[in-house]
Amino acid sequence: MSIYENFGCKQVINASGKMTALGASSVDPSVAEAMGKAAMDYVDIAELMVQAGKVMAEVTGAEDGCPTSGAAGGIAISTAAVIAGTNLSLIERIPNTDGLRNEIIIQKGHSVHFGGSISQMIAIGGGKVVEVGQANHVERDHIAGAVTEKTAALLYVKSHHAVQKGMQSIETMIAISKEKGIPFIIDAAAEDDLKKYIAMGADIVIYSGGKAIEGPTSGFVCGRADLMAACRAQYKGVGRPMKVGKEAIVGLLTALTRYYDRPDESEEQRSRMEWLIEQFKDTPGVKGVIVQDEAGRAIYRANLSFDAKVIGKSAYEIIKELESGNPAIYTRNHYANLGIINVDPRPLLKGQEQIIAERIAQIITSGGNN
Ligand SMILES: *Cc1c(COP(=O)(O)O)cnc(C)c1O
């Protein structure tokens, strides 16, 4: 029974990954418990924001940090912070920044859609987006040459959504930002290394709380102390409609506190996926193997290939039936055109691989429409 069924939503089994559209992460019970306690109590919010920054500093190696509603909110808040600083009159003007130093330089291949538009998040924070180079080719001079007295920051998007080839590196952008004396911001929303970009010299690093960190719907920025004070100050302005609640802050801090000593569940996950594959070893037209994550992380997915000629259904048809059932099952479908469906063990709750195995067996033995 899913709590969401109380409100008329179908139960969802997420075998896909950290998908915002499916609710991103399910938190550890210790995180949920902390959020419950936070929700039933009071705190001086300004004090909580400052103390949260100290935890974020500890975890990331940055000077300070600031909670946000998510990484998208983090982009808007960071942009507003580099433009308005802690000046209240400027803070209250955002997103109107006419006449101010408001340009945010971004490589064209980084001006992407993550589920929302990076450029729009910058614009909400009052930034004027200056895209440099071409979508598949940017030179150092494109970036350095675009810096003027109107430049407020350089922004880099570290993500599989961004173009990977032909862009200038983080190191190059940091070098330019140091040369020109302007802040370097990096959107590392889904990255799992919380120290790397601070150590490289980034002035602001943006993370999502609900992705690698497996916290609640939230996010944070970390970096230079003066810029973090400026980020916090934006909650008197453009940050207000992207307020992050006390429950979310406490949940995020609890997730961050346990980040480095979370139990490694990859072996258990792998054996659950081996069990899943085992269920189809005698099924004609189905072949299962364990496949490690393309990026080399310790994620072992069940890779099931379906022979449409034998089964009478394509992988697309199987996916459609999985998603339209109750519970609705969402798999990882990047290779569906090759007849392959992947099951990601990370978001699966206890025993859900059994429901998935039963449901797939039902679908492939039912021949036509089910
Ligand atoms: C997911 C994502 C975001 C938005 O993160 P939220 O925490 O959902 O607001 C921003 N940038 C990138 C690159 C992302 O992958």
Domain(s) of CATH 3.90.1150.180: residues in the chain? 3-22+264-366
Q: Name the residue with the closest Cα to ligand 1, atom 11.
A: 189
Amino acid identity, residue 127?
G
For 118-176, write each residue's pLDDT tens digit: 999 999 999 999 999 999 999 999 999 999 999 999 999 999 899 999 999 999 999 99
Query: How many angstroms separate the alpha carbon of residue 369 from the centre of ligand 1?
Result: 37
Around Cβ 335, how many Cβ atoms within 10 Å? 14
Going by pLDDT thresholds of 50, 70 and 90, the confidence category of residue 355 is very high
The ligand 1 site (C-beta within 6 Å) comprises 20, 70-72, 114-115, 157, 159, 161, 187, 189-190, 208, 210, 219
Residues forming beta bridges with residue 343, ordered by sequence position: 302
Q: CATH number of 3-22+264-366: 3.40.1370.10, 3.90.1150.180, 3.30.70.141, 1.10.10.10?
A: 3.90.1150.180
Domain(s) of CATH 3.40.640.10: residues in the chain? 29-261
Q: Which of 208, 211, 213, 217 to mutate to test the pocket of ligand 1 (most atoms within 8 A of CB)?
A: 208
CA distance 108 to 196: 24
Q: Which two tokens stand for residue 98?
A: 């006419």
How is residue 113 annotated by DSSP?
B
Is 308 a residue whose pLDDT tops 90?
yes
Q: Name the residue with the closest Cα to ligand 1, atom 12.
A: 189
**What global pTM score does this model have?**
0.94
What value does the mean pLDDT take over residues 224-233? 98
Query: How many angstroms separate the alpha carbon of residue 71 from the centre of ligand 1?
Result: 5
CATH architecture of 29-261: 3-Layer(aba) Sandwich (3.40)
